Amino acid sequence: MAENTMVRNGSAAARREETRNARFFTPRVDIFETDSELLLLADLPGVKPQDVDLRYERGELILRGKVMPPPPLGEPLVQEFETGDFFRAFQIHETIDASKIAAEHKNGVLTVHLPKQEAVKPKQIKVRAG
């Protein structure tokens, strides 16, 4: 699975980029692999689930949405949270069962489950005595 994050010294650096004729920021993402699936965790603080647009199209998982600025709480001294539109796109390998992709949003983290097709999952083979 490929994605559009720069990697420096083993850590991903969030950056703004020109994409599809508009200005977007790229949320931070971690990807893990288990025997049965890939897990994609996207850091989306302040984003409501209804403001996330997640779709699978022609072998690509597309994550986009909008982070609204918080209400003013006083004079800002430091502002590090990104606001505005975000976008990420990931090429999905054909070993992922696209019909079973699922996602949930909890505590500012979007978790996307990308299940592997049965044919590529590891299988335990019993060895009989005799």
- CATH 3.30.1600.10 at 14-69+83-119, yes or no: no
Dig out the tokens for 2 from the structure: 């490929």
Domain boundaries, the chain: 14-69+83-119
Low-confidence ranges of the chain (pLDDT < 70): 1-22
**pTM (global) more than 0.85:** no
Dig out the tokens for 12 from the structure: 């991903």
- d(C-alpha 42, C-alpha 110), whole Å: 5
DSSP letter, residue 68: P
Q: What is the pLDDT of residue 21?
A: 58
Torsion of CA 93, 96, 97, 102, to 10 degrees: -110
Q: What is the pLDDT of residue 122?
A: 76
Q: What is the pLDDT of residue 60?
A: 94
Q: What is the pLDDT of residue 9?
A: 37
- Look-up of token digits 């986009």: 64
